[in-house]
Amino acid sequence: MTKPLVVFKNVQKLFGDFVAVKAINLEIHEGEFLAIMGPSGCGKTTTLRMLAGLEEPSTGKIYMNDQVMNKVKPHERDTPLVWQSLALFPFLTVIENVEFGLKMRGIDKSERKRRALEWLEKLDIIDFSERDISTLSGGQKQRVALARSLVLEPKILLLDEPLSALDAHLVIRMQAVLVQLQRELGITFVYVTHSQSEAFAMADRVVIMGNGEISQVGTPKDIYRSPQNKFVAEFVGRNNILSGTVFSLTNLGAHIETASGTFSVNLKTNKLVKGQKASFVISADLVHLSRSNPEAQNSVHCKLISEEFVGSMVTLFLEDNSNQEFKVQMQERELSKFDLKPDSDIWLSWSAQSAHLLDVS
Amino acid sequence: MPIKKSRKIDIYAMTWRLPIIIWQLLFFVGPVIFMIAMSFFLVKNYRMMEAFEFINWSKMFSKNYFWDSYFYTITIASISTILAMVLAFPASFALAFKASEQMRRWAIFLLIIPFFTSYLVRTFSWFVILSEKGVVNALLGYIGLGPFTMLNTNFGTLVGYLTLTLPLVVILQTVTMANIDRTLIEAARNLGCKPLSTIWKVIIPLSKTGLIVAAIFCFILSFGDFVAPFYLGGSQEPTLPILILDTTKSGQQWPRAAVVAIVMMITLFSVAFIGIALAYRKKASK
């Protein structure tokens, strides 16, 4: 890995008594697509705003290319931001919006126009260059906002939930546009979102934030398969979280006793003591269904409560007799074999490798 | 059935609209029509006679003092407008962007207070401040300056106009700028705009409509004001409102005063119309 472009060192941000961001440490590498994800109020936008210089860290330091950025004013930075509201200037035309940043940098008129047109062309909105912003559709505005930032040829592009106002089908299309742009330009994207699907679909690495802290940093797969703690597991969703106490330990794994039964879990790095409280997760898509008792090590007898279709995927919501909720995710065509109805009896099972132990917190 | 329903709504709406329509007809449209008619009347032996003659119009338009007064009024009202807009801007800017929400509310409340008192009273209080032996000259005297003649000058007139217009202009500017989407200012900063440049590049374009409306108000109030040029300006160069007074006094020339009044109205209508058109002008979409 190359040396980091941006480093957050114990960066904390207070608004009065409220701690928006709690002493975070984070490295952002050159050319990566980093998503910062978390529920609203988790400090993700504040983190992004500090990177743009719109907020100054209360304590700690932010480095960019080894330089301390804390006191550098927003207009002296090269950190264009794509806003959630897009923040296009309504009194300027499309091309004037795109030229704005170049004009501020004192680039002459013909050069400005040339570069702006180049980007309008690249983002497929050249036909609208003389139009008023208010006459554009949501998707077109999105592209203008991107062009306005990218025309500055920055090393790093900041994006604050830019797709949240778009229709679902446009979101998918813009995701593809963003990923392609990022690969092509090779610049760093820092993408703030509350949407897991956006973050997982696009990012090389995902930062999960909660209550002003970083809960986990990792690839989408890491975060999905091995959430480090309960917060991440719950936030990522579609996880079965079971809590109990350590019943016995072997050199390969542990047996954990819960209200739903005793289950075996493989140990990776976690150190456990017998009798200690422990939680583990099983991703909903790693749980198997069977009509009869599978006689496997990790199995639970459940009743079907409800199901939810999302395209070809189905999520089943089930409950065992201790009222523990389970979720199972599978292909719709696989499910049809089982012929399930509400209140149907069914067995769930999973392998010990699929169960992932959470950090005690 | 839907026809009946819509008629019912019409009657309901009309009932509420009626008072204002009657009021406007009785006290605005009626008098204006009468004034237009009066501008064609004749005055003989100090008595007005119904007639339809263009003599009042041709007499007034051929007099230099009418045109002098007209251009003087436009000039000084324009200067007053520019001064008010410029003087109010820093205060409005601070109230809109630097003050807290609560402080802004208090400031707007305090700016409304001057309207509680009579404009005439406020004008007279300037005598104490601006006269030859007034407060300002006394203070300037301590540092060896003056005394300056401030009453009965253009300066006096402008002070009077601003007394009338400045609080209103500050209120209108403040409310307009306070409603700007702050994200747009941050976006400009993010794209490399220096803090002060955001005023020209973002804040003024975004508040254009409100600023033009404030300027129109200021111009209309100054252009039609009688009190400031009469008491503080000493009516040395008469503005059109003073000309109206003089014309009615000298030889009962009400018809000629009507001519002046109509010219004023047309001027103000044009200014307001052009101003509003500018304020709401949209770029032509291609």
Give whole-number Cα distances, A105 to A75, A82, A135, A242, B119, in Å. Answer: 10, 18, 28, 56, 50
Nearest by CB to residue A85, choosing from B183, B197, B283, is B183
Query: Cβ–Cβ of B191/A148 closer than 8 Å?
Result: yes
> For residue A265, what are the β-bridge partners?
A254
Nearest by CB to residue B194, choosing from A75, A81, A100, is A75
Q: Which residues contact A275 (CB under 8 A, 6 or more apart)?
A: A245, A246
Shortest Cα distance, chain B CAs vs residue A129, angstroms? 9
Whether the complex's predicted ipTM surpasses the cut of 0.95: no
Give me the amino acid identity at A84.
Answer: Q
Give whole-number Cα distances, A343 to A289, A303, A334, A346, in Å. Answer: 15, 5, 19, 9
Instruction: Provide the residue-wise pLDDT of chain B in tens; the chain has 286 residues.
Output: 445 555 566 788 888 889 999 999 999 999 999 999 999 999 888 888 888 999 999 999 999 999 999 999 999 999 999 999 999 999 999 999 999 999 999 999 999 998 898 999 999 999 899 988 889 999 998 988 878 888 999 999 999 999 999 999 999 999 999 999 999 999 999 999 999 999 999 999 999 999 999 999 999 999 999 999 999 998 778 999 999 999 998 878 999 999 999 999 999 999 999 999 998 886 543 3
CB B95 within 8 A of CB B178: yes
Nearest by CB to residue A132, choosing from B193, B195, B285, is B285
CB B275 within 8 A of CB B215: yes
Query: Cβ–Cβ of A81/B197 closer than 8 Å?
Result: no
B contacts of A51 (beta carbons < 8 Å): none
Give me the amino acid identity at B118.
Answer: S
Q: Which residues contact B132 (CB under 8 A, 6 or more apart)?
A: B147, B149, B151
How far, in Å, CA of A254 to CA of B222, rounded?
88
How far, in Å, CA of A52 to CA of A56, rounded?
9
Model-wide pTM > 0.80: yes
Give whole-number Cα distances, B271 to A189, A345, B29, B61, B278, in Å. Answer: 51, 81, 20, 21, 10
- At B284 the pLDDT is 42
> For residue A253, what are the β-bridge partners?
A266
CB A218 within 8 A of CB A186: no
A contacts of B197 (beta carbons < 8 Å): 104
- At B1 the pLDDT is 44
How far, in Å, CA of B188 to CA of A101, rounded?
8
What is the 8-class DSSP label of residue B252? G
Query: Cβ–Cβ of A89/B205 closer than 8 Å?
Result: yes
Determine which helix (DSSP H) or strand (DSSP E) holds B95, and give its type and residue range.
none
Determine which helix (DSSP H) or strand (DSSP E) holds B43, and give its type and residue range.
strand B42-44
CB B170 within 8 A of CB B91: yes
Which two structure tokens, joined as six digits, stand for B207? Answer: 């508040």
How far, in Å, CA of A14 to CA of A141, rounded?
33
Q: Which residues contact A21 (CB under 8 A, 6 or more apart)?
A: A11, A12, A13, A43, A46, A47, A50, A57, A212
Query: Cβ–Cβ of A101/B191 closer than 8 Å?
Result: yes
Of the residues B181, B185, B191, B194, the best mutation for testing chain A's interface (the one with the most A CB atoms within 10 Å of its CB) is B191
Average pLDDT for consecutive 10-residue bins of chain A (361 residues)?
Answer: 86 94 95 94 94 96 94 95 95 96 95 96 93 93 95 96 88 92 95 92 95 94 88 85 88 86 81 84 89 84 88 88 89 83 87 85 54
Interface of A with B (CB under 8 A): 52, 54, 73-75, 79-81, 83, 85, 87, 89-93, 100-101, 104-105, 130-132, 135, 148-149, 152
Q: Which CATH class is domain B63-279?
A: mainly alpha
Domain residue ranges of chain B, discontinuous segments joined by +:
63-279
